[in-house]
Amino acid sequence: MAKQRLACRECHYVNEPNKQTCDNCGSTSLTEDWAGYVVITHPEESEIADEMNVSEPGGYALKVR
């Protein structure tokens, strides 16, 4: 069974399962308890990115617990 990817509680960036820190913001607050997924390719043109305060392209969890 594949390990669940980890979402950052700080910036919602979705990281690989073996990470200890977030690749996007460096936080160590990662969790497997998240739902929803959005890929943001052009954050400067995205209303969703603006709502989520995302400035870097990548995959983000919509809800992190």
- 44: Cα separation from own chain's centroid: 17
In the DSSP assignment, the letter for residue 63 is E
25 is in an annotated binding site: yes
29 is in an annotated binding site: no
8 is in an annotated binding site: yes
22 is in an annotated binding site: yes
Residue 35 structure tokens: 């739902």
CA distance 26 to 42: 21
Annotated binding site: 8, 11, 22, 25
Annotated binding site for Zn(2+): 8, 11, 22, 25
